[in-house]
Structure 1
Amino acid sequence: MILDGRLTEEAWRRAESASGFIQQDPNTGDPATEQTEVRVLYDDHRIVIGVMCFDSERQRIMGNQMQRDQSLGADDRFMVAIDTYSDGRSGYYFEINPSGAMGDGLVLAGSGTQVNRSWDGIWNARVDRNEMGWSAEIEIPFHTINFNPNVSSWGINFQRTVRRKVEESLWSGWARNQGLTYMPAAGRLLGLDGLHQGLGLDLLPYVVGNSSAAPGRGAPSSVETGAFGGDVVYNLTPGLRANVSMNTDFAETEVDQRQVNLTRFPLFFPEKRTFFLEGASVFAFSRETGNAIVPFFSRRIGLDDSGVPQPIDYGAKLTGHAGPFDLGVLQVRTRDRGNVAGEDFTVMRAERRFWRQSYVGGLFTSRSRAAAPATQTAGMDVALATAQLFGKEVLEVSGFYLNTTKLRGSRGGSAFGARINMPNDPINWHVALREVQDGYDPAVGFVDRRAYRLIDPGMRYTVHTERSRYVRRFSFEANLAHYFDLDGRLETRRADVQLLRVDLHSSDLVEFHLLPLYERLPRDFQISPGVVLPAGGEYSFVRRHYQAQTTTSRPVSLNATYEDGEFYSGARRQVTGTLSVRPHRGWLINAGGDFNEIALREGRFTTRVWLNDINTQFNPFVSLVNRLQFDTVTRQLGWQSRFRWITRPGNDIFIVYTHNWTDRTTLQTLDRKGSIKIVRTIRF
């Protein structure tokens, strides 16, 4: 079989087709307005999915994006979810658009609506546009996915987006409380016998060359370096995968997006390094806490507090399934650098699955260096979930407990909480309770604030207007979070009252919020250099939030917000927005910013952040991304240019150049670095 996107081989004509897709949006339960036919073939080493997306207006098919693992939400697309363990809990996610852009991810166990898109599997696909619409062939090697060899049937489901109609249709599980990645509602793929993963061994050697200089940091001379290393990945069992990385390198990593912090609490920056992203979902702890409490936060490894990389000698990782258990073990050693001693990091995670969507789990982390005691965190979490309450309602009940050992002379501390969640339609509500003690300080984790108790109820109500010509839905929402100190005194009361949100059939939307806030400051708060709000101050104020967003299916789109109103002892006006331009298929230009004008009794100041991206995609395997950023807090201008060529799936060439300037007096170079990295995958 030639992988060309054309379903012309005799095998495709003989294969049984899956069709009869049903709308999830806009008219739930109605037949899809465009026909879709899916066929599946397999041999000993791969599964191939063929889809024919018929289209009555093929000249209006949309497929602007071509870059790997980028959002396809503005395009027509075809998606597939596969439950390879046939347990109705988790699986793999693949998607493709009419221009051949590919995306993938892992379907997380739980309510079945979350996809971890950091997973980057080795697979291939091709598309073809023809007089009937567009078609695609998706080839997934069995070497790429884990599965139960003793099971001859998998769960599988398909979804298609017709972007100009804002239509989502599915083969199975089309109810609003279900969806593509709700694996209990998936169909069945039968007769899978004689599947082989091969030896299950991948070698991923790399070689990298760097040239860098930092004249603004006291190192004006260029330094040229080279290195090599790589990963060894081996499937110990069909469900367990081991990964050993030597001389780990992250030259190809994207830069962080600039943020300005106007709160009393630290900002959260997501992980972007490939080694830590792969298998990250196995180490996820208690989905109830979001980013507020993350007991294992991989950015604590190999990065200092300012984001400067620290060399990593080696990393070893074990992730996967073993019977009813999900397991993850991570061990990393960082190298001595200057006056900074190397450290050892250990993370262990286990979940015991029971019933269809529930689990109980445990987590342990440790961070240590020579001649210093280890800092350790241990905890457990539990989630009880069903999607069959009263026949079709979703109910989730979860809880967690964490404890850190003695740290820097303190006595350590705990964090614990519980949550009840009913994420249904039209009513979605939750109640969360949480306590974080002052001594809770996970050395390999992230916590946004300490020494508080939280009561956090919220509710959203949605009205669907399926027969309206213009409006798709109205929604109303209210969230009210109360933070008390450990003596029971109110410290923060934060409300978000969404008075109205209107979603149109065109995918444009507008919304209006009121944001009442009460804040009592337990200590001085320096909100800006020279501007300090004194300890003991109590502030109660209301802000107004307006947002308008136009559909990304147009060549030009805008997402803009405006906030104004009181702010502590004065007033604040904030404008944020992103203008996106798609002049041609494969081109995306974003220009955006975040602008604040703040006038307080203690002082006046402004903040500005500008962000500009130019994303050029030559084809689905070659891309060039340029990012330019500036903010008025650091007064630094940053530019990164990142070229990626996927010579074949699993083999990459990266060329990355980063340059930072400061304009505190005149525009001067702080540092610059250029890297060329070649990665190859050898499979056995």
Structure 2
Amino acid sequence: MAHDGRALHIQVRAYDPEPSAIVAQQMRRDVEGMLKEDQVTLVIDPDGDGRNGYLFAVNANGAQFDALIFDGGQMRFDWDALWRSEARIEADGWRADITIPLSVFGRGRPVGEDEARTWRVNAERWMPRGSERVRLAGIQPDKEVYSLGDALPMPAIVADQDGWGLRLKASLRATSESSAASGTGQARQRLEPGLEVFHESPTGLRTTAALNIDFGEAEADERTVNLTRFELFRPEKREFFLQDAGRFTFGGLVESAVIPYYSRRIGLDATGRGRSLDAGLKFSGQLAGTDFGLFGARVAGGPTEPGAPDQRAADVAVLRVARPLGHRSRVGLTATRGNPEGTPGSSLWGVDYQFRDTNWVPPGGEGGKTLETHAWVLESSNAGLGDGRSWGASVKYPNVGLMGNAEVQRIDAHFNPALGYLAEAGVTRGQGELGWWHRTRIGEDIIPGVDWNFRRKQDGSERSWLLNPEIGYTNAAGDTVMVEVFFEGDRLASAYTPVPGVTVQPGRYGWHYLFGYLETAPSRPVSATAELRSGGYYDGHRDDQTLQLAWKPSPYWGWRVGLARNAIRLPSGSFTVRTASLRLDHTPSTRLAQSLLLQWDNVSKELGVSARLRWLWRPDREVIFSLDRLGYTGDQRDLLPNQTRAMLKLVWNLER
């Protein structure tokens, strides 16, 4: 490792006596399967306090993978930084050269005159052929390399201060929309500029501003038919909202039934379609030892669907503050204001507490265990709905040997996070897992356990529960098989229709079914994932089959086919849900990536086509092209016009 005052330079020599057997299939960026190939991962915590950091991984082709680390050991895979990597296979193994601008890490938290700044650093190499892992520190099978509490301290690398700490990301986009896609009933074409500004002061305060940003280049959501009564949770994929996203997390609620701030509420509807961002401003950093994040935005108004009333522009804001209490505990505050739908009178506030120890010593046991707990309370206020409160607590114990987790939540009937995600209100719910993690001498994992959850409406009208014993096996190469038995019960207060023509009537139900899961290691040229379910479903029967096949004939080409079938038979009727997807990836170099995704289901009878191209033709110049087309394949397809949206975007990155 070395630096020149502007960038961190890392050279990796990965020795291997059989270079022809090195596994390097991926060229495309941020493919999780790359982490199962021959790769090296670097983890850096620039604040040195074990809470927030960054992960960078490179395989033997030079393909990149990066992620945000937050809460000491949680990852957001969907964050991206602008950095460079090159790699090549040689006679004695493979070599990688990595260059990361120091501006990615920021200028770090301010320290006293007599206090030396420190980073925390860890590194890991994975070799799939022998299922061998080498790590700089914290090498335990139940700890990941991104567990920041196990990283080693080192003197901080301080960037030269002769610059302004400023990066400009200017763009020019041309957009064409069909009449059905524009929401106005008329086709339209636009040529618009956009600007994102990133600045960091000498004190470590980060400022991000955005003007007239469109999110048409974000990856399309995977098509899923919702067979539940609750809204599906979908991850954020837009770069602007992912910057410093870890600073806004609350109570350990990442993919939970309640989240106070869910950025997909801003500028997107439930289908993933949405409007542009007129303006956005974000501040984040540390002041007096306190982490903070402040975000405000104006979402553009305008039409949503042909014939529907125009949606008003919306002003929204989010505040997050967290302060450590020693090295293991943290207390925080969050607050939001505004409603993305443009209606006034919505606000929320809450407090949370976190305890995380990666070297916990259980009574009568050995040290080196990980224990993490969270507790939180939230209160919301909305015009017409009034005030509502929710609270929750969780504990996680993810260790070899005895392992488990548990969570409980209570949400009042009037609680509604206007800027967040909520599966349902007026409910008390809990879930958990208890098992035994056995690791063999050759690296196999055998985990028998039992999962459980319960849900009860606070007015007593509904109640549901689930209990499922399971056993999972993963070999050293990463192939996994799992068998589960589910026992479920549900008392419904009102009927609901999971699929067209099939209705579950109010009443009390109990059923059970078998579930099987099989996954082969993604490092293989051909890999597969399969799920099978068969057994009861309320007062009827349900059979599910899901299959995904992936083929990498070379590092430059990749295919993925997905098929799913859900056959539901109830006294009220029968219906079979079918979904299909096909994805083709072409990555001729680590700077050029093209993809084509086709998705269809027989419920909406929509065929979606999404094409993406990203070309980094210079380190500071990028070309982005996206094409989305949604067509109806049902009997009335002649009456429902296709929706087409195309965008060409030129991006300039300027740093001073």
1:406 partner amino acid = N
Counterpart in 1 of 2:70? 108
Q: Distance in 2 between matches of 1:314 and 1:48?
A: 35
Q: Distance in 1 between matches of 2:411 and 2:217?
A: 37
Work out which of the residue numbers 378, 390, 393 in structure 1 matches 2:369: 393
Instruction: Indicate the SS of the match to 2:62.
Output: coil
Change (3 A) 1:323 1:586: farther
Instruction: Indicate the SS of the match to 2:382.
Output: coil
Q: Distance in 1 between matches of 2:138 and 2:610?
A: 42
Q: Distance in 2 between matches of 1:190 and 1:516?
A: 54
Counterpart in 2 of 1:16? none
| Residue range with higher mean Cα deviation, 544-553 or 193-202 | 193-202
Work out which of the residue numbers 170, 185, 196 in structure 1 matches 2:135: 170
For residues 387-434 of structure 1, give each alpha carbon's deviation from its aligned partner in whole angstroms, at most 9, with x where no partner exists.
232232222221111111133x22331110112222221221223221
Instruction: Indicate the SS of the match to 2:129.
Output: helix
Change (3 A) 1:195 1:634: same
Work out which of the residue numbers 169, 178, 181 in structure 2 matches 1:204: 169
| Residue range with higher mean Cα deviation, 631-640 or 73-82 | 73-82
Counterpart in 2 of 1:403? 379
Contact 2:500 2:603 in 1 (8 A): no
For residues 258-281 of structure 1, give each alpha carbon's deviation from its aligned partner in whole angstroms, at most 9, with x where no partner exists.
111111111112211111122221
Change (3 A) 1:194 1:491: closer
Structural mapping, 1:458-477, within 5 Å: 458-467=433-442, 472-477=444-449
Work out which of the residue numbers 316, 325, 328 in structure 2 matches 1:354: 325
Counterpart in 1 of 2:306? none
Q: Is it true that 1:545 corresponds to 2:545 in the alignment?
A: no
Q: Is it true that 1:446 corresponds to 2:421 in the alignment?
A: yes
Change (3 A) 1:194 1:294: closer
Q: Is it true that 1:64 corresponds to 2:36 in the alignment?
A: no
Q: Is it true that 1:89 corresponds to 2:89 in the alignment?
A: no
Q: Is it true that 1:234 corresponds to 2:199 in the alignment?
A: yes
Which runs of 5 or more structure 2 residues have no equivalent in the other structure? 304-309, 362-366
Contact 1:288 1:399 in 2 (8 A): no
Q: Distance in 1 between matches of 2:647 and 2:432?
A: 49
Counterpart in 2 of 1:294? 259
For residues 159-195 of structure 1, give each alpha carbon's deviation from its aligned partner in whole angstroms, at most 9, with x where no partner exists.
0011222222102110234332222322343484675
Counterpart in 1 of 2:5? 44
Q: Distance in 1 between matches of 2:183 and 2:395?
A: 54
Change (3 A) 1:153 1:641: same
Counterpart in 2 of 1:30? none
2:368 partner amino acid = K
1:136 partner amino acid = A
For residues 275-303 of structure 1, give each alpha carbon's deviation from its aligned partner in whole angstroms, at most 9, with x where no partner exists.
11222211111115632111111111112
Change (3 A) 1:369 1:617: closer
Q: Distance in 1 between matches of 2:261 and 2:110?
A: 32
Q: What TM-score do the two structures reach when normalised by structure 1?
A: 0.89
Work out which of the residue numbers 573, 580, 604 in structure 2 matches 1:610: 580
Q: Distance in 2 between matches of 1:218 and 1:442?
A: 27
Contact 1:335 1:343 in 2 (8 A): yes
Work out which of the residue numbers 379, 399, 409 in structure 1 matches 2:350: 379
| Residue range with higher mean Cα deviation, 301-310 or 190-199 | 190-199
Q: Is it true that 1:534 corresponds to 2:518 in the alignment?
A: no
| Residue range with higher mean Cα deviation, 600-609 or 88-97 | 88-97
Counterpart in 2 of 1:569? 539
Q: Distance in 1 between matches of 2:347 and 2:118?
A: 43
Instruction: Indicate the SS of the match to 2:425.
Output: coil
Counterpart in 2 of 1:36? none
Contact 1:142 1:197 in 2 (8 A): no
Q: Distance in 2 between matches of 1:289 and 1:119?
A: 15
Structural mapping, 1:67-78, within 5 Å: 67-71=28-32, 72-78=34-40
Counterpart in 2 of 1:143? 103
Counterpart in 2 of 1:274? 239
Structural mapping, 1:248-259, within 5 Å: 248-259=213-224
Report the Cα offset of residue 545 of structure 1: 0.3
Report the Cα offset of residue 673 of structure 1: 1.7
Instruction: Indicate the SS of the match to 1:247.
Output: strand
Counterpart in 1 of 2:489? 518
Q: Distance in 1 between matches of 2:182 and 2:159?
A: 60
| Residue range with higher mean Cα deviation, 193-202 or 552-561 | 193-202
Q: Is it true that 1:509 corresponds to 2:480 in the alignment?
A: yes
Contact 2:428 2:455 in 1 (8 A): yes
Q: Distance in 2 between matches of 1:322 and 1:534?
A: 56
Q: Distance in 2 between matches of 1:47 and 1:191?
A: 11
Q: Distance in 1 between matches of 2:168 and 2:222?
A: 32
Change (3 A) 1:166 1:630: same
Q: Is it true that 1:364 corresponds to 2:340 in the alignment?
A: no
Q: Is it true that 1:559 corresponds to 2:529 in the alignment?
A: yes
Q: Is it true that 1:678 corresponds to 2:639 in the alignment?
A: no
Instruction: Indicate the SS of the match to 1:378.
Output: strand
Q: Distance in 1 between matches of 2:498 and 2:120?
A: 52
Q: What TM-score do the two structures reach when normalised by structure 2?
A: 0.93
Work out which of the residue numbers 406, 417, 431 in structure 2 matches 1:431: 406
2:284 partner amino acid = T
1:140 partner amino acid = I
Report the Cα offset of residue 371 of structure 1: 9.6
